[in-house]
Amino acid sequence: MSSTSSVVLNTGVSMPLVGFGTYKLCGSEEVYIAVDAALQAGYRAFDTAAVYRNEADLGRALRDLLPKHGLTREDIFLTSKLGPKDQGERAMEAALHSVSELGMDYIDLYLIHWPGTQGVAVGDPCNQGNRAGSWVALEELHAQGKLRAIGVSNYTPAHMKTLLQSCKTPPALLQVEFHPRLCQTELRRVCEEQGVCFQAYSSLGKGELVKHPVVMEVAKGCERTPAQVLLRWAVQQGVPVLPKSSNTTRIQENMALFDFSLAAAAVERLTALDDGHKYCWDPSEVA
């Protein structure tokens, strides 16, 4: 990775622009093989979550493999997330459990995964109180150094504005669905104005966008894969991405984003696909 392939969070810490997503990676062997391939390909950031149920396997794989690749804990950037069932009073205990499961002394970035609470109706105002309680717990663990940076995922502009008005420690990052069909203009503006890093997940639209005719045309024109084009579209705008794969070739391809760039016309063609389409979850109804 080049020297330009990272972003600096509002905590002053540098985070790689390309991280390795681990959603749906399960079982110690699958995790181990994928992490080995990712480290070999140059990934230095890894994204997990309590609900992925692979924190322990990821931690074990990293502890075992880092020496093999001549790396230490300080060379990698680890992200995990608070599960919706632990929103509110259980947040501190759950965050510390993630630290323990990963077998690390600290987590580089810890996010509230979802603005709602499991088992609570989406329109229930309790969701807002639970989010606020979770954030206070994360602020405390951040102050203790257990969580080097804290942030949120799947927040809407309204959720972000409420948090930014009430927090002592501002969020370092917002992780949301982002791709040419969902350009998230308002959320990006809120993040930019407030110094919050905007990070993408589901850059490939659950695999659907790699088959889109416009994406395929752009890819053919620059002799890259459709996945590389979609990922480059984001990083060229300074948006960090989290490609995920258990296929060694695709793991390598998804990291090969810094030896080419998209022409301005190609970026515009892709951005023009924006129609607000969500392939994943819709948090807009969560109170």
The answer to whether 133 touches 140, Cβ cutoff 8 Å, is no
- Please say if 52 is a catalytic residue: yes
CA distances from 47 to 69, 198, 268, 272 (A): 19, 15, 29, 29
The span from the CA of 60 to the CA of 62, in Å, is 5
Q: Which residues of 62-83 are buried (b: 16+ CB within 10 A; e: fewer)?
A: beebbeebeeeeeebbbbbbbb
Counting beta carbons within 10 angstroms of the beta carbon of residue 184, is it exposed (0 to 12), middle (13 to 18) or buried (19 or more)? buried
Residue pair 79/48 in contact (Cβ under 8 Å)? The answer is yes
Q: Which residues of 102-124 are buried (b: 16+ CB within 10 A; e: fewer)?
A: bebeebbbbbbbbbbbeebeeee
Helix axes 226-235, 213-222, angle to 10 degrees: 90
Q: Do 235 and 45 touch, CB atoms closer than 8 A?
A: no
Q: Distance between CA atoms of 115 and 121, rounded to whole angstroms?
A: 12
Strand partners, 241: 18
Largest CA distance in the chain: 52
| Options 32, 52, 110, 201, the catalytic residue | 52
Take residue 9 and report the two structure tokens written for it: 């969070």
* Residue (of 63, 18, 11) closest to 240 by Cα position: 18
Q: Which residues are catalytic?
A: 52
